[in-house]
Structure formats: C-alpha cells, structure tokens
Structure 1
Amino acid sequence: MTVALMWEARAVEGRGDELLAWARAQELAAQPLRRETLRAPQDRVLVITWWDAEFDAELPELPEPGEKLVARAVHRWRFEVVGA
C-alpha cells in the first residue's frame, strides 16, 4: 500500500520564502518513496511525502516550525493512494 502524508503551513505575512526554505531543509528520519514541496498564494507551503507502508504505520513527518514563522498551526492529512 502507498500512503501519502500532506503537511501544510501558512507563514506569517511576508515570510513565505523563509518558510519554504525551512521546509525544504527538513530531513526525515527515513527516506520516502517521493517528496514534493509546493507553494501557494498567502505564503502557504505544502509538502507531500509518499511511503510504502500501511495506512496507520508510524511514519516520520515534518515538525512544527517555530511560532514566529507560521500564522497558525500546521495542517496534516494522511491519504491512501488508490489505482487509476
């Protein structure tokens, strides 16, 4: 089974580039099958990692950035990949 973990944060206004750099620099305790980092308006950053694991497996995730960098708590979601 393939599981996708999504991590999304919104930076304090004007600090989107700093949040993006922070997220890209974070190393995980294990290597995912794939990792993508995206950004969106309003200084939002999204990181998606794909894992060969059961849905409820313990998997490494990005931590919370410092509260001076983000405007709200990080949002996290877990999804199971389904066939096309």
Structure 2
Amino acid sequence: IVTKLTTKESELLTLLSAHSNEILERNHALKQIWEEDTYFNARSMDVYITKLRKLLRPEPNIEIINIHGKGYKLIVPNEEESNEDEE
C-alpha cells in the first residue's frame, strides 16, 4: 500500500527515524518542524503523531510510543532482531 504523506507528516517521520529507538524530545521536534513550541503547534503535532501511528499500525514491529514528559520514541527492530525473524 502506498500512502502519500503531507509535508509535516514526512518531516516528523524523518525526524523520528533519525532518532529511532531514542527519545525525540517534544520541544526539539516542535522547533525543528513548526519553528515554535506553542500550545497550538503542540496539539498539531499530537494529531500528526496519531496519523503516523495509524499508518504504521499494519507493521507490528514498528510503533511510536509516548515518553511521558519528554517526547516520543520510534521503536524499530534492530538489525539482529530483523535477521533472527528472517531465519
């Protein structure tokens, strides 16, 4: 299935991917993508995170989780886990 992402979705997924299996601090993402850490931008980012989660749902090994008070983490299997699954 091919899904076209909006610019913001693409930027957010790219940033999450660059920090995969690490915490992406919420305020860092807001400043990188929206240029300001405001209430409305934060709510907008929450909506985009929800959309990305829905798009990733068919892939059971990949998920975006909340890290309370800090930000988000894109959980992806490491290469060793991927190789074990293929065997």
Q: Which has the higher strand share?
A: 1
Q: TM-score range by the shorter chain?
A: 0.3 to 0.5
The TM-score with structure 2 as length reference comes to 0.35
Larger relative contact order (CA 8 Å, sep ≥ 6):
1
